[in-house]
Every structure is written in C-alpha cells, then in structure tokens.
Amino acid sequence: MCMLFGQLANRDSLSDLVMCLNTQRDKWYHLGMGTGISKSNLAYANENRDWRIFAEYAYILIAHARKVCTSNNDFELKIEGNVYAIDSTTIDLCLSVFWWAKFRKNKGAVKLHTQYDVKTDIPTFIYISDGSVHDVNFLDIIEYEQGGYYVLDKGYVDFKRLYLIHKSSAFFVTRLKDNTNYRRLYSAKVDKSTGVLCDQTIKLNNHYAGKNYPDKLRRIKYHDDVICNTFEFVTNNFLLSAPDIARLYKYRWGVELFFKWIKQHLKVKSFWGTPTMPLEFKFTLP
C-alpha cells in the first residue's frame, strides 16, 4: 500500500513518502497499513522484501488487460496464433546518480527487452538488463508459444536460436543479413504487382550456420513503393502468402511506438533505494 501510494502521489524519496503518509495518519488503520510506518521500517522492507511480490501483481494486471483489451483495429491479417514483436531499447541514465547501471566508461544505462503483443498493443514480457547485454540473449529466456509468430529485426538473427523457435512449433519472421551464405533450392511464382520480387526456398551453405539450422528456410524479397526500399525477409513459415509475410514484419513498428511512449511519459527521476545485486529482473505471464 505504501509503494502504491508513493507511485500514485509521485513521491521522490522515502522521506517524502513518510511525510505525506503522516498527514493521513487517521486513514492508516482502515487501509490495512497498521501504525508502524516510518522511514526506517520502509527502508528495511524495501531492502529485504522479494521483488517477486510486485512481479506477481504485474502478472495479474497484464493477464486482465489482455482479456479486456480489444484487438488492434489496424491488424488486418487473418492469423489465429498470437503475434509478438521482439525488440529492445537502451534507457540512458546518469552514471553519477545511477552508479550501478554501468554501460560505458562515462555513461550509465539499462536495456529494456520487450515481447510485444501486436494484436492487443500490450507488452507481455519485459526483461531489464545492463545496457551492455546484447539483444540476441533475450531469445534464450523466452518461452515460445506453439503456433505463435515472432517478428524480429536483424539484430536477433542467430540461426541456432531461430532453430529453437522452429522446433517449438512456432514461426519467426526476420530480415536476412547481407552476408548470409545460402543456396536456392527452388522458387515459387510471384505476382510482382504486390511488391514481391521473389519467393524462394533456401538452405544455408555455411558449415556452422547449416549445422545450427539444418532445415529449409523461406526467403522473400519485397519492394515497398511507399518508402522506395527493398527488403529481404527470412522465415520458417511456408503457409502464409509472401505479401502477408511482408505485412507481418511491418507490424513490428508497434513495439517501436511503445518504446517512444515509454521514454516520453515514464521519466525515471529517482529511486527509493539502490540494488545490492546487478540489475536484472523480468516479468511475464505465468
């Protein structure tokens, strides 16, 4: 209750929080706060109480939000499984104030890794790590849904990890790196008026890449007339049409808008304590 009050009242410190609570002392009993609220008691609880109590409450809120939230009206693809956009953003912090958030020699930062539900516009899995952690490591802690779609950018192209998605009976859509060595097995007919330039079935040539991903892949080359740019996509899904694969990747922009909203509205100005362990925690749906 004290933590919720401090967040809603936008308190900057434990002293500020206790001072405001003391003005409402007659309401403590009815709110179930007891009578022993002091700065030292809150500091002790803040230091020793497990962070999972807040994570479990986040589980409840996210699960409720996904049930009551209407589907994204902009999502026009007829896909039964959930569609997730995966990305991360770096949140810069002042190293002299947030000394524990080490990123570079003279700069502090944390990295916000996010699994974003495209259909409901709600993040379902957030993992906060040091700013130096590479994006692709986020794939190691995701529990993949059977029949789910995971849309990623080039930074997550690691064929060993992508093959894990494939073995989980899930689908991925990402962009092909320019230096990827592959061979074409055969090509499907395409309608170039839709922007699709080619739709190929390929296999990887490189020894280690082919060992990490021994199955076939689908390569789609698509030209977007609106921005006058050409993209090469790679996926393990052979059921959706090539234009739908290109449109599916376009919905990844939703997670970028989420990051923009986070940085514009949720300003981290102060902490009510400093962590005694490296900053690394996550919350997701059970």
Predicted confidence at residue 131, as pLDDT, reads 86
Would you say 142 and 116 are in contact if contact means Cβ atoms under 8 Å apart?
A: no
Model pTM score:
0.80
Predicted confidence at residue 217, as pLDDT, reads 96
Would you say 114 and 123 are in contact if contact means Cβ atoms under 8 Å apart?
A: yes
- 127-134 contacts at long range (C-beta below 8 A, 24 or more positions apart): 127/281, 127/282, 128/279, 128/280, 128/281, 128/282, 129/279, 129/280, 130/101, 130/102, 130/103, 130/278, 130/279, 130/280, 131/90, 131/91, 131/101, 131/102, 131/103, 131/104, 132/102, 132/103
Predicted confidence at residue 274, as pLDDT, reads 61
Q: What is each CA distance from 240 to 14, 147, 219, 223, in whole angstroms?
A: 54, 13, 13, 18
Q: Which residues of the chain have pLDDT under 50?
A: 277-286
